[in-house]
Chain A
Amino acid sequence: MTYPASGRKFPRITIDMEKCTVPFLCKRCLQACPTAVFNVRRIIAKEERLKEMDPRIDGNYVLSAPRTDKCTACNKCIEVCPVAALKIEVP
């Protein structure tokens, strides 16, 4: 099952990486989003791929918003973000 290609434009979520440095530790937006739009993953260099990554260290994890098709622009993520790193634009 899937939805039809309606041509609806999805909200654009921009994340300021300068401000959002420890998303796995913070995790506020990830858990506040009603439709689970966000995703967090570790960033690792090839030689470090077997290492455990400390979520407290800046830049070890990076936040993204892949499922914008489910974003309702409710702004709950913006409300909970402690560093004001998120912006949502509705086309």
Chain B
Amino acid sequence: MCYLCKEYGDPEVAGGVWYLNPKNYARNMYKLRQPGQGFAEPGLYLEGGRRGGPGLPELLAALEKGDQAEYDHIRKTMHTNTFSGGGSQVVPLKDADKVLELCSPIALIACICRNAVRAIDERNELEYTCMGMGVGMLKWERWPERYKGGVKFVNIDEAKDWNHEMDRRGFVHLLMLFGAPYIGGFCQCDYPDCQALRNAVDFGIGTLKSHYVAVVDYDVCNGCGICAQRCQWGALKFEVTSEKANIDQFKCYGCGLCETGCPRTAIKLVERKGLPAVAEVWT
């Protein structure tokens, strides 16, 4: 079971999946910042999970030193620290629809990672590539720098349509925690521009895999290769020998991009717990 479900899931609600538990969207989940406590700066996210502990510079130093034990220790510390005030989990499109029905308000906003990594300035609703959620969005005007072009509040159907369009374009949906279990946004991520996804792929830090893994039905797959273009995790490739898609379920984050992109529905997301050896592989 993923640790968020252990903490915040209800076995009697939605099969115990934490993000489908309406309690986790209650207003009192929103945590006011304590006096003296800093707030997230654009770019600081690159340091993933510093929060008083080690950060990216220490991690890279351990890599350069060639000290595997120290590197693994820093990695795990950063992972744990990330979830003390942030962190994320991959959610496939079909579950994303259910999340959007539970959460209010929903607003389209500029992506903070693309801003920091590629200096991309998203200034209007046609450019926005991120989704802010929950009551925290109502005070967006307090951060003119963060929300330069304003924000665009949308209703549930508009939010779903937008999410489906982002999925079609090839973005992964990451449910962002702003102090678990408060859900603050639905990031639309790709490698290497999204820092949460990148920290997950490069170091296994800060993002939990989804409750699913993708499997290929070899009788249906015709080897068109479209799915291979959509995998952001390096988990899916075109297997030349069999001329079909091949998925490494240990690398698969269960985002479902390959499933939604497959023209022949040859790829299916199955429950992670259905494959005992990967059932507890969350990073």
Contact = CB atoms under 8 A, between A and B. Distances in A.
Interface of A: 1-10, 23-24, 27, 30-31, 35-36, 38-42, 44, 49-53, 55, 64, 66-70
Contact of B44 (A3, A6, A41, A67): A41
A52 B110 CA distance: 14
Nearest to A9: B64
Interface residues of B, number: 41
A42 B42 contact: yes
Contacts of A8: 63-64, 66
B172 to A, nearest CB: 15
Nearest to B194: A36
Contacts of A55: 121
B251 A39 contact: no
A52 B60 contact: no
Contacts of B56: 66-67
A5 B71 CA distance: 7
Interface string B98-135: 00000000000000000011110100000000000000
Nearest to B250: A1
Interface of B: 39, 41-44, 46-47, 56-57, 60, 62-68, 70-71, 75, 116-119, 121, 142-145, 148, 192-193, 198, 201-204, 233-234, 250-251
B46 to A, nearest CB: 5
Most A-side CB within 10 Å, residue of B68, B144, B192, B201 = B192
Contact of A24 (B60, B70, B119): B119
Given A2-B204, A42-B42, A44-B145, 4 more contacts: A36-B198, A38-B117, A41-B116, A66-B57
A53 B145 contact: yes
B118 A36 contact: yes
Contact of B60 (A4, A44, A69): A69
Contacts of A68: 60
B117 A7 contact: no
A59 B56 CA distance: 24
B62 A52 contact: no
A73 to B, nearest CB: 15
Contacts of A38: 117
Contacts of A4: 68
Given A4-B68, A36-B192, A41-B116, A51 B63 contact: no
B46 A31 contact: no
A66 B193 contact: no
A42 B65 CA distance: 31
A1 B75 CA distance: 11
A40 B204 CA distance: 23
Given A30-B117, A36-B193, A40-B119, A52 B63 contact: no
A1 B64 contact: no
Nearest to A24: B119
B119 A5 contact: no
Contacts of A53: 145
Given A7-B64, A41-B42, A51 B145 contact: yes
A50 B144 CA distance: 7
Q: Which 10 A-B pairs have the closest CB atoms?
A: A7-B66, A41-B43, A27-B119, A52-B144, A36-B192, A5-B71, A5-B68, A30-B119, A2-B204, A52-B145
Contacts of A67: 46, 56
Nearest to B62: A5
